[in-house]
Amino acid sequence: MTDLRRPVKRVARGCTVPHGVNPTLVIALHPGGVIGLRESRRRQEYLVEAGALYAQLVAKAARAAKRARR
């Protein structure tokens, strides 16, 4: 893999989003393990650290597995 030196942006079209949100999202990978998300044609970008997102997804999967065992 190559280390990031500048943000890399990609467009995801047709995402499943709540009503009133543009289904075209711009996803940016920033150096240092930061992921940015924003709606297309909007300036406000929401940032999350990749490690925090990973921990949240692992915890969610663990809760779902625990629920399934019951």
Q: What digits encode the pLDDT tens for the residues 41-55?
A: 999 999 999 999 999
Whole domain around residue 28: which residue ranges? 8-69
Rounded distance, CA 24 to CA 59, Å? 28
- The number of distinct structural domains making up the chain is 1
Q: Is residue 2 part of a domain?
A: no
pLDDT, tens digit, 9 for 90 and up, residues 25-44 = 999 999 999 999 999 999 99
Q: Is residue 60 part of a domain?
A: yes
Q: Is residue 1 part of a domain?
A: no
Reported as half-sphere exposure (CB side, CA atoms, 13 A), residue 39 has a value of 10
Q: Is residue 3 part of a domain?
A: no
Is-above-0.85 flag for pTM? no
3-state secondary structure of 63: helix
Res 14: pLDDT: 87
The dihedrals phi and psi of 25, each to the nearest 5 degrees, come to -110, 145
Contacts of 44 (CB under 8 A, 6+ apart): 38
Q: Is residue 58 part of a domain?
A: yes
Q: Is residue 40 part of a domain?
A: yes
Q: Is residue 18 part of a domain?
A: yes
Res 15: pLDDT: 86
